[in-house]
Chains A and B, each alone.
Chain A
Amino acid sequence: MAVDLPQSQAVGGTIRRRSSLESFFVAWPPLVLVALAWLALMAIVAIGAQWLTPYDFMALDVMARLKPPVFFGGEFNHPLGTDQLGRDVLSRVLISIRISIVIAICATIITTAIGVTLGFVAAYFRGWVDQVIQMLVDAQLAMPFMIIAIAVLAFFGNSLVIFVILLGLNGWESVTRIARGLAISANAQGYAIAARDIGGSPSRIYLRHILPNISATIVIAMTLNIPGVILLESSLSFLGIGLQPPQTSLGNMVGYGRDYIQSAPWIMLMPSIVIVLTTLSVSVVGDWLRDKLDPTLD
């Protein structure tokens, strides 16, 4: 980008000025554009699912069971085919996208809130509070979260609220570590010292001064957390211990679709493709954001 400055031309033309199209693609790599486009599409689906679905996602049509998608011998009235109860796969995928995305976003907000709070508490008190929080982070890192999630679902039973809160506990430890590290270094910086010297309360310093200053990094950590949540939610729903029918989610669809893998593979393939493209897009965009905004994060 520095290349576009007028001085670089004045030096004598050793540095070739990029064409505007070229510099556009340097700033926005094509892969990132494709990923963003896919995510935009997913956002539109998540917001407008009820107007986009050709059928009610629970509507049965026993006369039209296991119809293949268009171009595989199906007809246009069910573009992605139908499932074993004659429900329209396209409608179910659209509704599932909305549910999976809403769950992933809610869970990530919870994760971030917990992570930032614990990180700030550790950074403010230091000492034994810090030690305890670090120990919890270590303990969390030592256990695969999916196993904890399965165990909690076993003991508490399942409801949408418990499920979302549980997914919100996934990944808090990495946010905590990032927030703690950033807050400790921010504490030593001029603006935080100044705020403290004029008598700002700790909550004011942390929430009004430090938080806005580290928000870019936190937002990236949130983005990178989303694919993990989507994978966890779909895996649990796939196993039949996540979201329960008649609710539908992408993992849930794959879960019952696997029984028809021989006769109607599209039931499980369609939601699988959506999951893969979405997690892939979020990671591509997250990596790109990280490289662009904060190369220090890994």
Chain B
Amino acid sequence: MAQFVLSRLLRALLTLLIIVTFAFFVLRLSGDPLNRFFDVGNTPAEVIEAFRRQWGLDQPIWIQFQKYIVSVLHGDLGSSMRENRPAVAVVLDHLPATLAIMLPTLVLKTVLGVAAGMVAALYRNSIFDRLIMSISVLGFTVPTFVLALVLALIFAVQLRWLPSGGYSEPQHMILPVVTLSIAGAAVIARYTRSAMVEVLGQPFVRAARAKGVPWTTIVTRHVLPNAAVPIVTIFGFMLGSTVGGAVVVESVFSWPGIGRLLVASVTARDLAVVQTILLLIGVMMVASNLLIDLLYGLIDPRMRSQRATS
């Protein structure tokens, strides 16, 4: 088990390293940083030379990379050009707003999705199943911005029940949360259904029925635990995309979270902020993948023994 945890940790670190490397090279390839500070043609050569030396730009690229890694490890990701303060502080300021809609969404879409997927699987080929799966296909193919705008059109513009955008009151959260939950629940329902259908066809379910175990006990004690792995996998992906998953919805509903900050920073070419958000999302994804990998071992004893032998 210890070996397994270690190997997973190592892989998570490697993935993080790839993401950091990607951020570094994209940053460097996007042009000489000098151009962002000077009009290079009209600046004396000594000034440019001094600037290069001061910021280490005269060093070979791999030494620059080394320094970059060190500064990332120290939490120094540069300053936001728009707000003239550390990019990390700017990003952290926007984090609560994103979490305020993403955490309720995570709960709501998981409950809705798992429940709908279970109903669809248990009443396979019934009208419920057809209905749930049709809605789920729509959830896959309707882009979130269309869903968000249609909901805004119905509930904010036509019925005037809810505000169409803003941040001040709790009602403002409803439309973003509902939009994100519908889209996410569609995906979870589909995974849940196919996982459950597969388990329901297993001989041990038939055996349990044959020896007279009540149906609810079969579902809760035999089917659900065995169907848990794919469901947990997709949940892990959703958990990881908590920070970055609301870009479109935040900008539709003018929600002042990370997603809108990202779009605004891209438009203003505020590179330090973009890079910080990129790394934050990467860390979130890698951490939740690691968590899920470790969870597998808890849920499914077979995975533990397989790993011990392999």
Chain A interface (Cβ < 8 Å from any Cβ of B): 135-136, 138-139, 142-144, 146-148, 150-157, 227, 231, 234-235, 238-241, 251, 254-255, 258, 261-262, 265, 268-269, 272, 275-276, 279-280, 283
The answer on a CB contact under 8 Å between B271 and A155 is yes
The answer on a CB contact under 8 Å between B146 and A272 is yes
Interface majority SS (helix, strand, loop, mixed), chain B: helix
Name the interface residues of B221-276: CB closer than 8 Å to any CB of A.
240-241, 244-245, 247-248, 251-252, 262-263, 265-267, 269, 271, 274-275
Query: Is B149 positioned at the interface, with any CB of A under 8 Å from its CB?
Result: yes
Q: In the complex where A142-B286, A152-B26 touch, is A238 in contact with B145 (Cβ < 8 A)?
A: yes
The answer on a CB contact under 8 Å between A138 and B271 is no
Name the interface residues of B1-48: CB closer than 8 Å to any CB of A.
11, 14-15, 18-19, 22-23, 26-27, 29-30
Query: Is B114 positioned at the interface, with any CB of A under 8 Å from its CB?
Result: no
The answer on a CB contact under 8 Å between B241 and A144 is yes
Contacts of A258 in B (CB 8 A): 145, 149, 252
Contacts of B152 in A (CB 8 A): 261
Chain A interface: which of B74-82, B133-141, B174-182?
Answer: B133-141
Q: How far is the CA of A253 from the CA of B141 in the complex (A)?
A: 18
Shortest B60–chain A CB gap in Å is: 22
Q: How far is the CA of A99 from the CA of B245 in the complex (A)?
A: 26
Query: Is B117 positioned at the interface, with any CB of A under 8 Å from its CB?
Result: no
The answer on a CB contact under 8 Å between B30 and A156 is yes
Contacts of A254 in B (CB 8 A): 145-146, 149
Chain B interface (Cβ < 8 Å from any Cβ of A): 11, 14-15, 18-19, 22-23, 26-27, 29-30, 137-138, 140-146, 149-150, 152-153, 157, 164, 240-241, 244-245, 247-248, 251-252, 262-263, 265-267, 269, 271, 274-275, 277-278, 281-282, 285-286, 289
The answer on a CB contact under 8 Å between B146 and A276 is yes
Shortest B241–chain A CB gap in Å is: 5
Q: How far is the CA of A238 from the CA of B149 in the complex (A)?
A: 11
Contacts of A157 in B (CB 8 A): 269
* Residue on B nearest A237 in the bound complex, by CB: B145
The answer on a CB contact under 8 Å between A154 and B281 is no
Q: How far is the CA of A93 from the CA of B116 in the complex (A)?
A: 36
The answer on a CB contact under 8 Å between A235 and B143 is yes
The answer on a CB contact under 8 Å between A239 and B143 is no
Which of A156, A238, A269 has the largest count of B CB atoms less than 10 A from its CB? A238
Contacts of A261 in B (CB 8 A): 149, 152-153, 157, 164
The answer on a CB contact under 8 Å between B285 and A234 is no
The answer on a CB contact under 8 Å between B266 and A154 is yes
Contacts of A251 in B (CB 8 A): 143, 145
Contacts of B285 in A (CB 8 A): 142-144
Task: Give 25 pairs: A residue, B residue, CB < 8 Å, sorted on A.
Answer: A135-B15, A142-B289, A144-B285, A150-B262, A151-B23, A151-B26, A154-B266, A155-B274, A231-B143, A234-B143, A234-B145, A235-B144, A238-B145, A238-B248, A239-B251, A239-B263, A240-B263, A241-B263, A265-B153, A265-B157, A268-B149, A276-B142, A279-B141, A279-B142, A280-B141
The answer on a CB contact under 8 Å between B153 and A240 is no
Q: How far is the CA of A151 from the CA of B30 in the complex (A)?
A: 11
Contacts of A231 in B (CB 8 A): 141, 143
The answer on a CB contact under 8 Å between B263 and A155 is no
Q: How far is the CA of A161 from the CA of B248 in the complex (A)?
A: 23
Contact partner, A155, options B30, B143, B251, Cβ 8 Å: B30
